[in-house]
Structure 1
Amino acid sequence: MTTQIALGSAKTRFSNSAFVDYEIDGNSYREAAQANSWMDTTWTLNALKAGLFIPKGGDVKAYLQAAFNRNFPNIFSEDVATSDQIYWMGLFNTYKATLHEGTKIVDQLQDGQTFKEAVVYTVDVSGTGNQVRSLKEELSSADYRLTYDPVTKQVTVELLKDTSETIAVFIAVEAATDVYKYNNMISLTDGTTDLTAEAQVEKSAKGNWLTKNGTQNVDNNRLLGWEVLVNQDSLTIKNAVIEDTINYNQQTFLYDEKGKVLVDVYKAVKDGDQWIKGEKVIFNNQDNPNVTTNGIDGTFTLRIAFEDVIDSPYFIVYQTKLDPGIRNNEVVSNDVSLYGSQTEIHQVTKDVIVKSTNGSGTSTGTNGSLTIKKYDREGDKEAGINKEAHFQLSRKNAEGNYEVVFSELVVRNNKLIQGTSEFDRLDGLRYGDYKIQETKAPDGYERDEKEYTFTISSEEVDYVFELANTREIIETSLALTATKALEGRQIEDGEFTFVLADEENKILQEKTNKANNILFDEITYQKEGTYRYKIYEVQGHDATISYDDSITNVTVEVKNNDGQLEATAIYEGNAIFTNTYTPKAGSVVLEAEKVLTGRSLVAGEFTFELVDQEGKVIQSQTNDGTGKVYFDAIPYDKAGEFNYTIREKVGQDDTVTYDDTEVLVTVSVKDNEGQLEATATYEGNAVFTNTYTPKAGSVVLEAEKVLTGRSLVAGEFTFELVDQEGQVIQSQTNDGSGKIYFDAIPYDKAGEYNYTIREKAGQDSTITYDDAEIPVTVNVEDQNGTLEAKADYGSEPTFTNRYTPEKAPDPAKNQNTKTPTKKNELPKTGETYQVSWMLVGLLLVGIVVVVYRRQKRK
């Protein structure tokens, strides 16, 4: 029993099945049938289901009249479809049996359908029951009850009267744009028997979704030209994708010199009854279109992803090259599929019978395989390398030339990789001569540029290609640094010059200081080894400066860590160059010192004023990182006594208690046989002490650094604060007095908190570092709503390092070595260095500057 109605043009496909129960003259009958057909199949059943797709903007009446092939009126409320719509018809009782009151007809809407309206008619059908001949009467609410359940998506028509008429239920639904095949099922039940029919409607006829043609090139019979026409009905397709699949033992896609597949996409334009190529489509993504490989199925797939939405036809044009072993009359297949939002809409297979080739292979010689083993020369051959290697595979043609078959084969852990899939080998390779070459080595390895050839034949069907790689050495770089200190006044950027030389005294770099820092450019290392350098200061010509003539030796050890070079610098000593500023005769530099307890001092955070005896502020200076405060030199042109006051300018930080001391300074200037000598006398020690007190609910943890063997330098040792989870939460360096202050730690609840303070070992070979770890417990208590934090160290948090100078070389063991560079042999700036210093020396004979402090406090 057929359940098929020709209710549409060739664009509509119907897939239906039904079971029919009916009575004639008191006898019961049951029939069943199933149909899955395109158009115009006759139907003679007592129950039918069919549907018609009308696109947005379509004339509803015209579509219905064409479907029924009758001059029917529009039975729906809309004259023009306001959206893509499906019109379903369920037809019952073609044999005109009695349908009793209470009989229910239920239409089950499927995915992508939204109910709009329903009408019910009595109809006349043709004698064979395969055509609706006329619409007799539209039933009213007195004849049936209509309900719709949006949850179950069921439309129910319940008959309120007995009838022996043929009933047609027409339902209009809105069709979702991202669904391309619509299913529907309708059933009738009278309490004793059930009757069900199903139908499916596609938006487009199969030939309108996809049309594909393939032809063999006349001038080059190794080439096949393919042309695909997509979406002739201009329907809306979201995330449209075309996938074209070929067997790689038959043909390959063509690529440009950069390895990108050659394919052109055009908008299709209607020219009369024909489609022609219009504007060319340019894709923004460099990886689109692309080709993937399936080594198990033995296929290449060309994938073209359109951007977002398409709503017009397109041409896709490309060529493939036949395998050199293809013979005359061999059938070459090509499958193309259209997807929308990852749902396959339609698929077409096209075959081409090859003519006039010079193929030397045989159709049966296509069962060879290739396995690629890519491994570390010093590693496990079977496991391979856990990084991607890329290969190109070519096959020899009849002329003896190699043609690319696979432009890119990706191998990892001896597996061929394609996206998220992996396979052991390439199957389905034709017999013949091949060439393989590595195009990209795994990261960290050197590429093997050699081309390797092999043969797949009946004697060696499954070929295993093995290639070992040598690890690549990745270079590293390191910047050497040093520190500049100036005593007597503030240091200025760029005023001192430093040299970096190799062990042969060849100058490699010259740099000036930036504040107290000396930073040389990075040095690149391309191999392991030990490299030795020297850092020294270029002696200047400022007569007020005593220059540091020391030389800091630096050793850089470069080691290979699993292919990555790593460089470590070891300094001999602390790499600090200290100069001293002495003002000219007849002038004096007044100074003071800032001490901050409770946390580390920051350069420039406190301001000091120098006031003359008239009460006028004549200078304002800030502290440096070590706490020193230097005022500019004050020149004098006559003898006498001059009085000054040094005071701190109170700041706005409410966590700091400022020192309001005023230090009196008297400068006595005397004429000593025509040479003015200035001497400063301080009342007290000119030290200003501020105290930092963290806010309630916070604490500052601290420690102390002691260095034996030489003076301590600010910032030369680093300390870590570790929480109870073992995480380093702060890192700080010592100040000039050896204090280490960590930043304040805030707390938002009472409790006990545990920490560890430890020193981070440095690279100075002359220092023995303290490896102690000092535990600290912080107790936070709630005192009437205010949190108070107290630290308990248990023992003194002191770290002691020891300085041991390098041993002087034994002269007897170094008779053949070069004489070390003496102070006056270091590179100089300018050519009058010795003369200048001789003049300065003569001048200093008659100049005496005496600066002393009396240990008194106002």
Structure 2
Amino acid sequence: AAFTNSYLAEGVEVELGGTKTLENRNKALGDDEFEFALYKSDVDGIEGAHVETVSNVGGIFKFSKLSYADGAEGTYYYLIKEVDGGLGWFTYDTKEYLVKVVITDNDEGKLEAAVSYYIYDGEADPPAWVEAEVAAFTNSYLADGEWMPEVRKELTGRSLKPGEFSFELNGDGLNHALAATNDGAGRVVFKPIKYTEQDVGKTYYYTVEEIQGNLGGVTYDKHVLKIKVEVKDFENGELDLRVTYDGSTTFTNRYNASGAYAPVATKVAVDFTLEAGQFEFELVDPLGNVLRTAKNTALGGVQFAPLEFGLDDIGKTFVYTIREVEGTLEKIIYDDTEYTLTLTVSDQGDGTLLVQRKAGEAPAIFTNLLEIVGGEEDEIPDDGEKTPATGQQISVYTYLAAAMLVLAVVSAILALKPRKKDTTA
């Protein structure tokens, strides 16, 4: 009898896989966040036919078991790669692992598998596949965000000019203070402050204050704005920056400007000596209200108390009249000329107002004359003759000459300025 025996070794299964590590993210690695592909390969690590793609489960990934049956003894090569998922907030691991699977028969009816992992070392001399303990892939989570601090500047009293007010921001994590100035619309925008995934869960504190300048007429805002920034994670590569303000984000400055104008006049005395305070003058408004009064000095100067102007007067025109008050001094001819004083008010932008008189207006010059009256007659002689005494004749002639001189002076003055009730430029 012939007996025929056959030998059939029991097959073996091999499970390939690796580990996944995610750095820089507070949230734990979730299932199915990353994928890994298995390819057939050769001893040189050349990518061949695709075998399978799987996802991670927590920090590991496993491919389906590879089955080897009796007769499959030999050496097999596979290549493991991470699939680039295209999510910008992750850095994908580009390492490739070569897996060597050696199937042998233990001559006891079973196949055995020996699995080795290799990683390519491109810096070796020569470059080569070197053995690794496991196919380990490490990814990093990247998240960023930026906060652009912004406050507002308001100025009352005049228009705001770009760049005329400066601000400073100080706080946690800054190597130096940030500086910014206002634009024409009042926006004050600082350079952005950047945050990364390393800042997640942290809180930063800042202050913003205005630099106290020296612009004329400006009162600066001295309050300090406190700001808190909490850094959270949207878990999609973007940071959730939660900003809280303690105080007003508007810095308000006040501009004020003032100016004054002191009206003046001149007193001229003809044929008599001028004394201080002899003559009085008035400054009146268009309604006839007396706003100021003044008296002359011994030298003929007349100065009124200044007229004060403020912000509300900018761009306006004011008209006044200067006139002499007719007094009661004997033998004095008073000047009834009225002079117009026209003033315009403009802002010089430095806290001062420019108050100017209208060009071409006649200066207020008041001329007073001494009235000349003939002397009394001497006593009449007994012979009844009415011939005046020699002294009387001399007195009359003297007065006549003086009168002619006065008339000449007055004519010269009147030729220089018209005598009328309202004299304007």
With normalisation by structure 2, the TM-score equals: 0.42
Structure 1 or 2: larger helix share?
Answer: 2
| Larger Rg belongs to | 2
Structure number with the higher strand fraction is: 1
Task: Determine which structure has greater relative contact order: mean sequence separation of CA pairs < 8 Å that are 6+ residues apart, divided by chain length.
Answer: 2
